Amino acid sequence: MTYEEFADSRLAVLLRYAVMLTGDPHLAEDLVQETMVRVQLNWRRVVRADSPERYVRRMLTNQFVDWRRGSWVKRVLLRSEPDETLAVPVDHAQATADRDQIWSWLGRLPRRQRAALVLRYYEDLPDAEIAEILGCAVGTVRAAISRALATLRAQLVETC
């Protein structure tokens, strides 16, 4: 597989994943760009992985979680809070408003917790694989998810 083939087939998927992680299309582009530049420059190493796709997803997730190391974070800090109203199709039903509220709460979770939620509830990955991507134990993943869910639940109760 060449880098070009990989980008052809996976770029859109990675972008979608990055949108879920960051909650913002511009940040998602920055994150994917930074990751894919590194993928391209180190393609030989990437393609040698058992699954290049998983390897890249792991790179991208780490880039997102490990904010201290990424040059990417400079741009993140310069931007204000993710624009919650941006480009979300407007639907006036109350249920939708609640869900959009969840979306904005997600943005306030610690990054690792948010990544764990995305991997389980958007990517539908088993906990073992989530642990591998985040580079921690399965128990840590479960603890992070339950903490994140508890936070979200508490906020949901508060606003009711």
Any contact of residue 137 with other proteins (CB under 8 A)? no
Cα–Cα dist 55/112, whole Å: 18
Any contact of residue 20 with other proteins (CB under 8 A)? yes
Cα–Cα dist 70/86, whole Å: 25
Any contact of residue 7 with other proteins (CB under 8 A)? yes
Any contact of residue 107 with other proteins (CB under 8 A)? no
Question: Quick one: which segment of 40-48, 59-67, 73-81, 125-133 binds other proteins (CB under 8 A)?
Answer: 40-48
Cα–Cα dist 45/38, whole Å: 11
Compute the least distance from the CB of residue 20 to other proteins, in Å: 5
Q: Which two tokens stand for residue 51?
A: 């699954």
Any contact of residue 132 with other proteins (CB under 8 A)? no
Any contact of residue 99 with other proteins (CB under 8 A)? yes
> In sequence order, what DSSP letters do the residues of 56-119 get, joined into one string?
HHHHHHHHHH-TTT-THHHHHHHS-S--TTTTPPP---HHHHHHHHHHHHHTTS-HHHHHHHII
Q: Degrees (nearest 5) of the Cα angle 88, 91, 95?
A: 105
Which listed residue (88, 97, 108, 137) binds other proteins by CB under 8 A? 88
State the residues that interact with other proteins by CB under 8 A: 2, 7, 11-12, 15-16, 19-20, 23-25, 28-29, 32-33, 36-37, 40-41, 43-44, 47, 86-89, 96, 98-100, 102-103, 106, 117-118, 121-122, 149, 152-153, 156
